Amino acid sequence: MKYLLSALLCSCSILSAADELPLVEAKECHPRNGLPNFLAKANTAGAEIKIGYLGGSITAQNGWRPKTLAHFQKTWPQAKFSEINAAIGGTGSDLGVFRLKQDVLDHKPDLMFVEFAVNDGGASPEQIFRCMEGIVRQTWKALPECDICFVYTLTESLAPAMLEGKFQRSASAMEKIAGHYGIPTIHMAMEVARLAKKGKLVWKAKLPKTDEEKKALGDKFVFAPDSVHPHVETGHELYLQAIVRSLEPIKAVSKSTGAHVLGAPFIATNYEQAKLLPITAATLSKGFTLLDPKTDEFGKRWANRMTTLHKGSQQGETITFQFKGTRCSIYDIVGPDCGQLIITLDEQPSKIVPRFDAYCTYHRLGAFVIGSDLEDKVHTVKIEIHPEQPDKAAILAKNGNKMDKPERFNATAFYPGAILLAGEIIK
């Protein structure tokens, strides 16, 4: 494939400052090199096609993901379609690039949608470059015939740029990677922005049910209950129609089938080598126990994401390891019974990292960074369970939440599942 930017541009002059990224003119679809392999296979009788959906909570919803899968099946009835649901709420490309192999590539998709524009809304352009390019290069290195499509979503807080005819910053950054690799992109929220600009969009409301509610709404369109996660019946339907419309221009440019060839990277520090390693690659003190999904109900709940989930709950329990590389994070579970950790990297002063936040009325997947933008050398990590709990009542109050049963929160648990590493573990 031909690329739009040279390696010299990538390494020397991507941006002098992250916030100076020029915003891209808003356009629903940039077809680029299309989806030739996917479309050729979709037109093959008896073909079995897997669609990977890598994204956050908007993709996890019962919305544009199953809607597009159903549309593909209806459009190409001679083929059989199935999905790889790799969406995790509240996470961006900085986790996606590390879990990509386990959650998507090992299942061998024919087409992969990547949706992180909302959850990457606060990330720097350079970080987005590293992660999104890492996703592309990992994919085409492992599955060179897998087609990729970036899709962009929108929230009210990210809408101002779109109302001015520009992509939001995260989508603008992703366009750099898409352009470099000839990857098609679809901004699924162009119609959302158009309605909002005309004053015909209600960003946050329940769907009207009664005739009186419908009359009061008039010709306005209700997007979401929270201005973020679209109603399946409304906002997600607009997202589906954007993809349906975009298939035609994408088909028109989808000429050359075959392997996608990787050329020079856009940014030399991309996370092509990102990997997810079981937490057992580290040394765990004896107080940590394996939550075996075969015998433990809590462990079974997370088995599709973490195969070596452990639990530690006593102060002073530790995890230690060494790695050579530039970035390291821990993939874990956060929830009501979680506490805080003491993190020591090399000879730097220790820092306290809470594993409890304002949403921790239930357990969910999480991750925290130990170090990023590190010198590519050997680093030493020590993680220790802090003896004290954070002020959980005060933390929950920030989101209007309260402790329903104090005993659920009275603990300092830590649930590590994996090491997310741009580098290699040193044994």
- What are 374's two structure tokens? 């590190």
> Rounded to an integer, what distance in angstroms lies between the CA atom of residue 115 and that of residue 107?
18
Cβ-based neighbours of 318, under 8 Å, separated by 6 or more: 284, 285, 382, 383, 384, 385
Same fold, 7-253 and 274-426: no
Task: Decide if 137 contacts 265 (C-beta within 8 A).
Answer: yes
Task: Decide if 365 contacts 355 (C-beta within 8 A).
Answer: no
Place of tokens 């399946």: 232
Q: Which listed CATH number (2.30.40.10, 2.60.120.260, 3.20.20.450, 3.40.50.720) goes with 274-426?
A: 2.60.120.260
Q: Are strands 147-152 and 111-115 parallel, antiparallel or unpaired?
A: parallel
Cβ count near 48 (within 10 Å): 11
pLDDT at position 284: 98
> Rounded to an integer, what distance in angstroms lies between the CA atom of residue 157 and that of residue 310?
37
Angle at 77 between CA 71 and CA 82, to 5 degrees: 60
pLDDT at position 4: 29
> Rounded to an integer, what distance in angstroms lies between the CA atom of residue 110 and that of residue 336?
39
> Which DSSP category does 25 fall into?
B
Q: What share of the chain is helix, strand, coil (3-state, %, to 5)?
A: 30, 25, 40
Cβ-based neighbours of 419, under 8 Å, separated by 6 or more: 276, 277, 278, 279, 281, 282, 321, 323, 328, 329, 330, 331, 425
Per the rule left: phi > 0, alpha: psi between -120 and 50, beta: everything else, 57 is: alpha
Q: Identity (one letter) of the amino acid at 415? A: Y
Domain boundaries along the sequence of the chain: 7-253, 274-426
pLDDT along the chain (427 residues), means of 10: 30 43 97 98 98 98 98 98 96 96 98 98 96 98 98 97 97 98 98 97 95 92 96 98 98 95 96 96 97 95 95 96 97 97 97 96 95 96 96 94 93 97 94
Q: Which listed CATH number (3.40.50.1110, 3.40.309.10, 1.20.1050.10, 3.30.460.10) goes with 7-253?
A: 3.40.50.1110
pTM exceeds 0.85: yes
Name the nearest CA neighbour of 354 among 340, 368, 334.
Answer: 340
pLDDT at position 20: 77
> Using alpha carbons only, how large is the chain's radius of gyration in Å?
22
